[in-house]
Structure 1
Amino acid sequence: METKKIGVSILYGVIAILLLGVITSLIFSLILKFTDTQEKSISLLITIISFFSVFAGGFVCGGKGKQKGWLIGGLTGLVYSLIIFMYQYLGHSSVFTLEQLVYHICYILTAMMGGVLGVNILSGPVHN
């Protein structure tokens, strides 16, 4: 698999994760602003949606890459985690807590699973 194809598929996956994150953040911020809903009451739903977003990003990159879904899915999750880490470290001068580290390891594994399924579902039959 050529490096350019890997990079493009990872870029598509990370963009998908970030777009889903922006959309869901907008929706939840509107819900929190205009209703009596408290953030602690929807924290589990937010966590589930964040894992779904990372899975979807892995799925997109796997479908785009068409092979080695575990590798490009894992790299997509790793790039996403590095972006979040850099934002937190450079923007807020703090490193990951142990809890955040566990979440991001799980994000990487979830993106790997999405990548594997993306390759197997979206790439279609292989003709030799």
Structure 2
Amino acid sequence: MSILYGIVTILLLAVITSFIFSLIFQFTETQEKSVSFLITVISFLSVFIGGFICGGKAKQKGWLIGGATGVVYSLIILAYQYLGHSLLFTIEQLIYYICYTLTAMMGGVLGVNILSNESKR
């Protein structure tokens, strides 16, 4: 159940971020390639926050539950990309999603350690 909280958090942050950037692109002269690094950082931050919330809800095995959240997120994106566009991951995308999974694992570990300690006080 905690994985669901993490995935919903990641997807909600992605929707909010996409909406904000679409407004920026629509009403300014900003191009996507000029902010691609910022978008990548925000993506990693979103996955980290999703793993953190997931680990905090689970209260144990943060690396495992965070990793599962990262894998489920990657599979959702792969399913969308394959079913919607008939494309598999490229090597570059595969590296990104492995890094996303590792980032979610780190978030899960911190979520278990920080949020579990706060609830014990």
TM-score, length-scaled by structure 2: 0.97
> Counterpart in 2 of 1:3?
none
What is the rounded CA distance, in whole Å, between the counterparts of 1:52 and 1:13 in structure 2? 13
> Structure 1 pair 33/12, CA: closer, same or farther in 2 (3 Å)?
same
> Counterpart in 2 of 1:80?
73
Which structure 1 residue ranges, 5 or more long, are not aligned? 1-7
What is the rounded CA distance, in whole Å, between the counterparts of 2:83 and 2:118 in structure 1? 45
* Overall identity of the aligned pairs, in %: 75
> Counterpart in 2 of 1:4?
none
**Residues 4-49 of structure 1, C-alpha deviations (whole Å, 9 max, x = no match):** xxxx100000000000000000000000000010110000000000
> Counterpart in 2 of 1:112?
105
Q: 59, 72, 95: which is aligned to 1:66? A: 59
What is the rounded CA distance, in whole Å, between the counterparts of 1:64 and 1:50 in structure 2? 21
Instruction: Pick the structure with more helix per residue.
Output: 2
Q: Counterpart of 2:51 in structure 1: which amino acid? A: G
> Counterpart in 2 of 1:102?
95
- How far did 1:125 drift? 6.3
SS in 1 for 2:14: helix
